[in-house]
Structure 1
Amino acid sequence: MAVKWLVSALLCLPLLVQAQDAAQLLQRKLATIKTFSASFEQQVFDAGQQLLQQGKGQLLIKQPALFRFETTEPEPNLFIGDGQTLWFYNEMLEQLTIYDAAAEVNRTPFVLLTSSKAELWAQYTVSRDAEQFVISANDPDSMVKQLILRFSGDALAQMQVVDINSQRSEFNFTTVQLNIALADSLFSFEPPSGTDIDDQRQR
C-alpha cells in the first residue's frame, strides 16, 4: 500500500512542480506591472457559450492592491478596490454597495493582479500554456472558478473570468499603458449626495 502511495506521489510531483513554476512566473510578470491602464471591450457568455451581453469600459491597476474597473456600456458601473474596501456603484440606480476586501477576495479576481501575498496565491492553482495563464480556485465554493490571463510581451492583452455558474466574461484590452503615473485618488470613492448605501462590512 505504501509503495502504491509513493508511486502515485512521484507521478504527481512533476505536475506540482509545473504549477509552482507557472505561479512563480506569473507573479514575476505581474510584479513588473506597477500600473496598468487600458480600455476594454467585454463579452459575456452563458454556460452554453451563447452571447448574453457586450460592453465597454476601462481598467486601472496600481500596485499594491489598487484597482478601478469602470463600465461605460451597456450602462455605467464602477467597481473600486483599495486593498481594504470594495465599492460597487450603480450610477443609474444611484446605489452603492460597500464590502470588506479581505472577506470578498473570492469574488474579486482583480486582487490577484496586484497581490504577492503567499496566503492568497495558495488558494489557487496556476497552469501555463505559452503566454496564457489559467488560475483555478482550489475552493469549490469560490464565486470565481477561473481567471485566465493572456499576455502580449509584458502587457496584459486579454482576461477571462469564469464564475461558479460557468458564465464567462471575456475582456480584450486596447490602448494599454504600463507603468504610468496614476493618482491614488482614482482608487477611492465618495458617493454623491442622495446615494442609497448598503454597507456589507457592518453585517
Structure 2
Amino acid sequence: MRRKLSIFLASLGMSLGLGMSAVGAQADASEDLSRLLQPLGSISGNFRQTLKDQKGKTLQKSSGNFSVQRPGKLRWQTGEPFPQLLVTNNKQLWLYDPDLEQVTVRPVDNRMKETPALLLGGKVEDIRGSFSVESKKGAYYLTPKRASAPFKSMVIRFDKQGLPETMTVRDGMGQTTDIRFNGLQANPRLSSHMFNFKPPKGTDVIRDE
C-alpha cells in the first residue's frame, strides 16, 4: 500500500478542413496542455487522494501537501494513515518513511519524467516526448509512450484559473488513484532547502543506485 502512495510522492477531430487527424489532435492537445503548465514555474498546495481497486472499491484515503518547482523539483508529503515524504532536487530523490525510520535514496533518471506528480514540475517540453495526449471536455488524457512506465494512464483537469484541479492515475493492475487539489498557490517563492533532505539521526539510509 505504501508503494502506491510513493508513485506521487517516489500526467478532437474531423477531416476535410473541418477538423484534424488523430495525430494532429494529439499534437494540439499536447500543445494546449503545455500552454497551461508553462506559466507555472512553481506551485504549492494541499491534496486529498483516494486509492480504489479495479471494481471502484475504496482501499485507502490520505491527504497531505506538496510543492513543485521547475525543473524537476518536488516535495510531496503524505499524512496519516501512512506518513511519507518524497523529495527531489532534480538530481537525487529521497523517499522517507518516518514510521520505519528509513529513507531510500536514488539518482533521478529519465523515468522520473513519467511520474505523475513531476508532470507539474518537470520540463514542459518533455510532455510530447513522454506521453500521448488527447483532450476531451476540458480534460487531458495522457498515456505514457514507454510500456515500462510506472502507470498506464492519467487524466488531469484544470480549474477556471488554469490551475490543476484533479488528477486520476491508473496503474497496471487496474487500480486508480484519484487526487483532488485545493488551496493552490501559483508561482510562490520556494526555498531551495525544501527540495533537499537530511535524514533525522538514527534513520536507516538505503541507497538504490
Normalised TM-score (structure 2): 0.84
Of 52, 58, 76, the residue aligned with 2:59 is 52
> Are the structure 2 counterparts of residues 151 and 185 from structure 1 closer, same or farther at C-alpha, using a change threshold of 3 Å?
same
Give 1:157 deviation, angstroms.
0.7
Instruction: Please name the residue that 1:62 is paired with.
Output: 69
Larger radius of gyration: 1
Gaps of 5+ in 2: 1-19
Question: Are 1:168 and 2:176 matched, yes or no?
Answer: yes
**Structure 1 runs, 4 residues or longer, greater than 3 Å off:** 117-121
Instruction: Please name the residue that 1:149 is paired with.
Output: 156
Do 1:141 and 1:164's aligned partners in 2 also have CA atoms closer than 8 Å?
no
Bigger shift: residues 25-34 or 100-109: 100-109
Question: Are 1:19 and 2:26 matched, yes or no?
Answer: yes
Give 1:158 deviation, angstroms.
0.8
Instruction: Please name the residue that 2:202 is paired with.
Output: 194
Bigger shift: residues 29-38 or 139-148: 139-148
Give 1:134 deviation, angstroms.
1.2
**Structure-2 separation of matches of 1:108 and 1:155:** 19
**Structure-2 separation of matches of 1:106 and 1:114:** 9
**Structure-1 separation of matches of 2:124 and 2:37:** 13
Question: Are 1:139 and 2:146 matched, yes or no?
Answer: yes
Gaps of 5+ in 1: 1-12
Do 1:106 and 1:143's aligned partners in 2 also have CA atoms closer than 8 Å?
no
Bigger shift: residues 161-170 or 107-116: 107-116
3-state SS, counterpart of residue 51 of structure 2: strand
Do 2:113 and 2:130's aligned partners in 1 also have CA atoms closer than 8 Å?
no
Instruction: Please name the residue that 1:72 is paired with.
Output: 79
**Structure-2 separation of matches of 1:164 and 1:100:** 24
3-state SS, counterpart of residue 73 of structure 1: coil
Bigger shift: residues 71-80 or 118-127: 118-127
> Are the structure 2 counterparts of residues 104 and 199 from structure 1 closer, same or farther at C-alpha, using a change threshold of 3 Å?
farther
Do 2:42 and 2:121's aligned partners in 1 also have CA atoms closer than 8 Å?
no
Question: Are 1:123 and 2:123 matched, yes or no?
Answer: no
Q: Given residue 173 of structure 2, which amino acid in structure 1 is its aligned partner?
A: N
Q: Given residue 80 of structure 2, which amino acid in structure 1 is its aligned partner?
A: E
Give 1:141 deviation, angstroms.
2.5
Instruction: Please name the residue that 1:28 is paired with.
Output: 35
Q: Given residue 175 of structure 1, which amino acid in structure 2 is its aligned partner?
A: G
* Higher-strand-fraction structure: 1
**Structure-2 separation of matches of 1:65 and 1:173:** 19
Bigger shift: residues 159-168 or 88-97: 159-168
* Percent of pairs with identical residues: 26
**Structure-2 separation of matches of 1:150 and 1:120:** 16
